[in-house]
Amino acid sequence: MLELRNVSHVYGNGTRALDDVTLSVPTGMFGLLGPNGAGKSTLMRTVATLQTPTSGSITFGDIDVIAEPERLRETLGYLPQDFGVYPRVSAYDMLDHMAVLKGIASAADRKATVETLLNQVNLWNVRKKAIAGFSGGMRQRFGIAQALIGNPRLIIVDEPTAGLDPEERNRFLNLLAEIGENVVVILSTHIVEDVADLCPRMAVLAGGKIRLEGAPLELIEQARGTVWAKAIARDELTDVRERYELISTRLFAGRTIVHILSEVDPGNGFEPVRGGLEDVYFATLARTRRPVDTAALAA
């Protein structure tokens, strides 16, 4: 179990990227959703011991992550958003080098590790190919292979499917699902479908704060009756924005479908939406954008 308690991080320029984050992450796939700039990468880098939070505590099992970063690194696999490698080196040689850095000194042990990982991520047939020649999906699968060196118990993947075509995305998500059965895997992304497909638990991070946490199916059920939809003409969109709390728009058969957030029936032709995780996500972001009632706070 990964536990974060009251974690905040303020950069030197005064930007508060994390604001009193408290989160429990159990074994299995855990989705961290949030828009760009929400603080997801800062949180992942903090958990991965690449930076120290301004305040708060982080533990993983019996490891105090802030006080004992080296202990966590021994059991951590990390695939950052921007994963850099030496492009002219082959996949096999690069993994072998990374295995040395991870402390696998025996040549026989490294050979067994590298061969197992290349087969696991379906890169064995291109093991002698320079990484510069890999597609985006192949690079991400290589990234997972390096993250798995040393049998980590905590794996962090940050925006792993951005830019992948549908086939590579499905292949990558299937690989993550297989990995996430027995270890803690944190999937940080702004792609709602990735979390819906993979994660039995999730949280939404926006403005550096945890805005929502729970099981996707339960959160979808809780949102029932609060999301409403209507097909409108394009020139009606401005009026809808002014009159309702608009959470999303999309095109279908040449018409604009709007989803709004309302605790009561808004009438005017709107129909209730059974909803999905995307509606839960957009509704959560809409609530965070509501202006603060300063009079109520003062009272």
- All structural domains of the chain with their residue ranges: 2-215, 221-298
Q: What is the pLDDT of residues 195-215, one digit of tens each?
A: 988 899 999 999 999 999 999
Whole-angstrom distance, CA of residue 194 vs CA of residue 196 = 6
Average pLDDT, the chain: 89
For the chain, report the end-to-end CA distance as a whole number of angstroms. 40
Produce one character per residue of 7-24: b if its CB has 16 or more CB atoms within 10 Å, e if not.
bbbeeeeeebbbbebebe
pLDDT the model gives residue 277: 92
pLDDT the model gives residue 271: 93
Q: State the CATH architecture for 2-215.
A: 3-Layer(aba) Sandwich (3.40)
What share of the chain in percent tops pLDDT 70? Answer: 95
pLDDT the model gives residue 84: 66
For the full predicted model, state whether its pTM sits above 0.95.
Answer: no
- Judge whether residue 296 has pLDDT over 70: no
- Judge whether residue 64 has pLDDT over 90: yes
Whole-angstrom distance, CA of residue 170 vs CA of residue 259 = 28
Whole-angstrom distance, CA of residue 226 vs CA of residue 19 = 28
**Mean pLDDT (whole number) for 43-68:** 95
Q: Which residue has the higher pLDDT, 24 or 132?
A: 24
Q: What is the pLDDT of residues 146-200, one digit of tens each?
A: 888 988 999 999 888 877 788 888 888 888 888 888 899 999 988 898 898 889 9
**Mean pLDDT (whole number) for 230-249:** 91
Q: What is the pLDDT of residues 78-117, one digit of tens each?
A: 888 766 667 789 999 999 998 998 888 899 999 999 999 9
pLDDT the model gives residue 139: 86
pLDDT the model gives residue 125: 93
